[in-house]
Amino acid sequence: MLIIFSDLQRAHRHKYILRRGKPVQSYDVPERIDSILSAISERQLGQVIAPDDAGLEPIRAVHHEGMIQYLATAYKQHSMDNENSTPVFPDYFSPPGQRRRPSSFDGQKGYYCMDMEVPIDENTWDTAVASAHCAWTGAMRLRSGERYVYALCRPPGHHAGPDFLGGYCYLNNAAIAAQALSVENERVAVLDIDYHHGNGTQAIFYSGPAIWYGSLHIDPDTAYPYFAGYADERGTGEAQGTNWNVPLQPGTSQEQYISALKSLLDHLSDFDPRWLVVSAGFDTYIHDPISAFQVTTTGIHEIGRCIHALGKPTLAVQEGGYFIQDLGLNVVAFLEGLLG
């Protein structure tokens, strides 16, 4: 199988994030990449290639120009009046129903951000773009006949919406790939198996009938991203019925997870997409530091097999997964299942 990875992504390292008002270490550390790459080379899973430079066009297809410009320039604007160059965090947020985009930088920080887990530093823009280009290149390779591609993306993407950042995510890699696959309105399905709901991806495709979004995740009533991911969110207008959320309870067993996955895949098959993009997070893992599911490495392999059975050309895009020691093992277990 073909694997896309950019060394530029290694420079992405949060100095700290804020949790309950305190600076703490992020779970999204660069060592995650080493765990994945060494497992891939040990199992000789396939050739690792660097992404093509696609510029900003494919990013503009899913994110607002204002957010792109904000993200590209935020650190520079911030460090002009901060000599100690801390990362950028917002001080103000836009409340419900008050989505006016201010021209001031202090206002934009909150307008484009949903939480304190997406600090912006001197490397954020370049690494987020490199990550997006990995996913985009994967999409292009599918189009040119590759059957299975894995994009090793970091930072992850599925919490980034059309005009917001959040949950370690800056640019929505999977959405950028899905949009690039949907030329001439070809149907694309995005299946999200990360532990968390992909609120960004849902928001991007919520009114677009050509792109189906389905996700299994921890009930947002109990965990991040809290404000979306509920079962009654089904898409809007022409896209009514193309959004499927399956919230699962803390303690969900492997059997419960696989059986919920199989029913979601039935709906995916009914949509009959030409292409499949998987938002592949492995924070469902039983030992993950932020998971409350009971999925083992064997279960993750089984998830890959179930997706293989759909028989679609598939791009897997890396999202979460924070138990570093077994992350590579889990990625490989999934990809070997996906290959059938």
Report the C-alpha gap between 132 and 137 in whole angstroms: 9
Contact present, 321 and 289 (Cβ < 8 Å): no
Q: Using CB under 5 A, which of the segments 10-18, 42-50, 237-245, 319-327 binds Zn ion?
A: 319-327
* CB nearer Zn ion, residue 161 or residue 281: 281
Active site residues: 159
Residues 141-170 that bind Zn ion (CB under 5 A): none
* CB nearer Zn ion, residue 27 or residue 70: 27
Give 301's contacts (C-beta < 8 A, 6+ positions apart). Answer: 333, 334, 336, 337
Report the C-alpha gap between 319 and 278 in whole angstroms: 9
* CB nearer Zn ion, residue 51 or residue 229: 229
Q: Using CB under 6 A, which of the segments 167-175, 249-257, 299-307, 329-337 binds ligand Q9C?
A: 167-175
* CB nearer ligand Q9C, residue 78 or residue 197: 197
- Per-residue mark of binding to ligand Q9C, 190-219 (x: CB under 6 A): ----x-x-----------------------
Q: Is 224 among the residues that bind ligand Q9C (CB under 6 A)?
A: yes
Contact present, 247 and 217 (Cβ < 8 Å): yes
Q: Is 164 among the residues that bind ligand Q9C (CB under 6 A)?
A: no
Determine the size of the site formed for ligand Q9C (CB under 6 A).
Answer: 15
- Residue 61, classed as helix, strand or coil, is coil
* CB nearer Zn ion, residue 141 or residue 158: 158
Query: What angle (nearest 5°) sits at the alpha carbon of residue 233, between those of residues 228 and 236?
Result: 120
Residue nearest to ligand Q9C (CB): 320
Q: Is 156 among the residues that bind ligand Q9C (CB under 6 A)?
A: yes
Determine the size of the site formed for Zn ion (CB under 5 A).
Answer: 6
What DSSP assignment string belongs to 241-306? T-EEEEEE-TT-BHHHHHHHHHHHHHHHHHH--SEEEEEE--TTBTT-TT---BB-HHHHHHHHHH
Q: Is 281 among the residues that bind Zn ion (CB under 5 A)?
A: yes
Q: Is 195 among the residues that bind Zn ion (CB under 5 A)?
A: yes
Give 59's contacts (C-beta < 8 A, 6+ positions apart). Answer: 68, 129, 132, 171, 176
Residues 99-128 that bind ligand Q9C (CB under 6 A): 117
Give the tokens for residue 17.
Answer: 């994030």
Contact present, 193 and 281 (Cβ < 8 Å): yes
**Residue numbers at the binding site for ligand Q9C (CB under 6 A):** 117, 156, 158-159, 167-169, 194, 196, 224, 281, 283, 290, 319-320
**Residue numbers at the binding site for Zn ion (CB under 5 A):** 194-196, 281, 283, 320
